């Protein structure tokens, strides 16, 4: 990710509207054809997440990002998965002389396949595209690339929902491999609280939020 400009007005506004519409549409895809999945004792892939996300480098003056995001996921035809994630927020870069900020917007679309590893867990693989728009104030920049994930997600005693995956991304001719883990716990009926971490070669990330199941 890099800095941004007035790109958050043009493309980012239209893109955010389109992506949010897609998020809502995904959540409405639950149909009688999926009814058998509601009895599955494994993880529920039909959900809408609202979260805060922070990413920072390990060096003292490394850039950092503070973002708010939406993520929607569905499963269909028993094994297939679709996920859409949009985030927007502020990037901060600090040096010995000054601190600069920029606005960022990222959208990611993933599709994949899951297979039961047991009655309580799924193995899955996903892949798709991502786009990042940055507004620096006096100019805008954007990058695009692809993302792949492979992992396992399962439930423990019908309460804890645990997910871990290995991610490989290639954006702007730069590749990154990272490992991620998330844990969800029921807060109310169909509402979970969740937290996650990500570890990169030179960065780390964390997110916390609320998940609504459908």
Higher pLDDT, 213 or 96: 213
Query: pLDDT digit string (tens) for 184-214?
Result: 999 999 999 999 999 998 899 999 999 999 8
Tokens of 109: 């679309």
Q: Please, what's the largest Cα pairwise distance for the chain?
A: 60
Give the C-alpha separation, 84 to 57, whole Å: 25
CA gyration radius for the chain?
18
Give the C-alpha separation, 76 to 112, whole Å: 11
Question: Residue 3: pLDDT band by 50, 70, 90 thresholds?
Answer: very low
Task: Supply the pLDDT for residue 50.
Answer: 98
Q: Which CATH architecture has domain 6-213?
A: Beta Barrel (2.40)
Please report, for the chain, the start and end positions of each structural domain, with discontinuous segments joined by +.
Answer: 6-213
* Percentage of the chain lying above the pLDDT 90 cut: 66
Write down the pTM of the prediction: 0.79
Give the C-alpha separation, 204 to 57, whole Å: 6
Q: 145 pairs with which residues across the strands? A: 130, 171
Phi, psi angle pair for 175, to nearest 5°: -105, 150
Task: Supply the pLDDT for residue 16.
Answer: 47
Instruction: Give the total residue count for the chain.
Output: 214
Mean pLDDT of 105-129: 97
Q: Does the pLDDT at position 183 exceed 70?
A: yes
Question: Residue 93: pLDDT band by 50, 70, 90 thresholds?
Answer: confident
Question: Residue 11: pLDDT band by 50, 70, 90 thresholds?
Answer: very low
Instruction: Return the minimum-mean-pLDDT range out of 35-39, 73-77, 101-105.
Output: 35-39
Question: Residue 40: pLDDT band by 50, 70, 90 thresholds?
Answer: low
CA dihedral 204, 209, 213, 214 (to 10 degrees): -100
Cβ(185)–Cβ(167) below 8 Å: no
Q: Which of 90, 72, 68 is nearest to 81 (CA)?
A: 72
Residue 34: exposure state from Cβ atoms within 10 A (0-12, 13-18, ≥19) = middle
Give the C-alpha separation, 87 to 99, whole Å: 22
Give the C-alpha separation, 53 to 92, whole Å: 14
Task: Supply the pLDDT for residue 31.
Answer: 41
Cβ(5)–Cβ(140) below 8 Å: yes
Give the C-alpha separation, 159 to 174, whole Å: 39
Query: pLDDT digit string (tens) for 80-92?
Result: 999 999 999 999 9
């Amino acid at each position: 990710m890099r800095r941004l400009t007035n790109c958050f007005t043009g493309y980012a506004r239209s893109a955010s509207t389109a992506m949010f519409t897609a998020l809502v549409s995904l959540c409405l895809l639950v149909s009688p054809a999926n009814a058998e999945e509601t009895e599955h004792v494994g993880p529920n892939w039909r959900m809408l997440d609202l979260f805060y996300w922070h990413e920072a480098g390990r060096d003292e003056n490394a850039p950092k990002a503070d973002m708010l995001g939406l993520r929607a996921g569905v499963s269909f035809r028993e094994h297939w998965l679709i996920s859409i994630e949009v985030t927007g927020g502020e990037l901060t870069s600090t040096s010995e002389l000054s601190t600069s900020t920029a606005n960022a917007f990222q959208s990611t679309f993933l599709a994949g396949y899951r297979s039961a590893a047991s009655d309580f867990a799924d193995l899955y693989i996903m892949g798709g595209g991502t786009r990042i728009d940055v507004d620096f104030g006096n100019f805008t920049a954007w990058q695009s690339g692809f993302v792949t994930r492979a992992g396992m997600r399962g439930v423990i005693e019908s309460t804890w929902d645990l997910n871990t995956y290995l991610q490989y991304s290639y954006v702007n001719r730069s590749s990154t491999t990272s490992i991620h883990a998330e844990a969800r716990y029921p807060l109310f009926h169909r509402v979970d609280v969740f937290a996650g971490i990500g570890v990169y070669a030179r960065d780390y990330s964390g997110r916390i939020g609320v998940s609504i199941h459908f």
